[in-house]
Amino acid sequence: MNIPIEAPKIPQHLETLYEPLYTLQSKDEFSHARIEHFTIDRQEAQRVSFEKTIFEHVDMIESHLAEIELTDVIFDQCDLSNIPFPRSFVHRTEFRNCKLIGTDFAQSRLQNVRFTHCVADYSVFRFSQFKRVLFENCSLLGADYCSSVFNSVFFEQCQLDTAMLSGTSLDTVDLSTCDFTSLQIEIEDLRGCIISPYQASSFVGLMGLVIKS
């Protein structure tokens, strides 16, 4: 499938960055940076901006980074579990082989974003706006997408069991390659959703039907 998602635009030469990350301040701006094998620990700031930056083997612990702005960024093998990033702007960004368990992107805007081989169980995206976003080979068990807006959102080979999608239209969204036995969703949100014959039985209860063997 040809998925029209813009890749991060990152130059070849980046400056290694560490020291400023020990004391993040609100509205800090970082650009053309490479951050490797580092822990961002107990930092709290708003509207921090990263542009044209690579994070590799970076862990975040007990930090709160509301309204973070990420443009042309790659996260590779990072652990951002349980970190709140509410009301954030994420553009031309890739998350590769990352742990995002319980990570909170509520009320955020995501555009041209790829999540590949990530464990993002119980992640929170509710009340967010998605435009050209791909989840590929990700575990999204219990992930919360409630009351979000999907525009060209793709799920490929994902674990979606018990994901929450109530109030989010799945029109034209293809779930046929994903694995789930149940989703928390309303029947009206399924209109136009693409599923496999095997998955159809998961939604019988929503229609008030009973399967008789």
pLDDT digits (tens, 9 = 90+) for 132-188: 999 999 999 999 999 999 999 999 999 999 999 999 999 999 999 999 988 999 999
| Residue 211 in this model has a pLDDT that exceeds 90 | no
| Residue 15 in this model has a pLDDT that exceeds 90 | yes
What band does 111 get if pLDDT is binned at 50, 70 and 90?
Answer: very high
Average pLDDT over the chain reads 94
Note the pLDDT of residue 198. 85
Note the pLDDT of residue 205. 66
| Residue 199 in this model has a pLDDT that exceeds 70 | yes
What band does 213 get if pLDDT is binned at 50, 70 and 90?
Answer: low
What band does 60 get if pLDDT is binned at 50, 70 and 90?
Answer: very high
What band does 86 get if pLDDT is binned at 50, 70 and 90?
Answer: very high
Return the beta strands (E) in the chain as ranges.
15-16, 29-41, 44-46, 49-61, 64-66, 69-76, 89-96, 109-116, 129-136, 149-156
Give CA separation, 47 vs 30, 82, 110, 128, in Å. 11, 18, 15, 17
How many residues are listed for the chain in this entry? Answer: 213
| Residue 20 in this model has a pLDDT that exceeds 90 | no
**Mean pLDDT, to the nearest integer, of 197-208?**
77
- Is 28 in a helix, a strand, or coil? coil
Note the pLDDT of residue 204. 74
Q: By the 8 A CB rule, do 94 and 114 touch?
A: yes
Answer positive or negative: Cα dihedral of 58, 60, 65, 66.
Answer: positive
Q: What is the C-alpha radius of gyration for the chain, rounded to an integer number of angstroms?
A: 18
Give CA separation, 99 vs 159, 185, 195, 198, 212, in Å. 14, 25, 27, 29, 41
Q: In sequence order, what are the residues at sequence separation of 6 or more whose Cβ sits closer than 8 angstroms to the Cβ of residue 139?
A: 118, 119, 120, 121, 158, 159
The span from the CA of 54 to the CA of 16, in Å, is 10
Helices (H) and strands (E) in the chain, counts: 0, 10
The span from the CA of 118 to the CA of 130, in Å, is 18
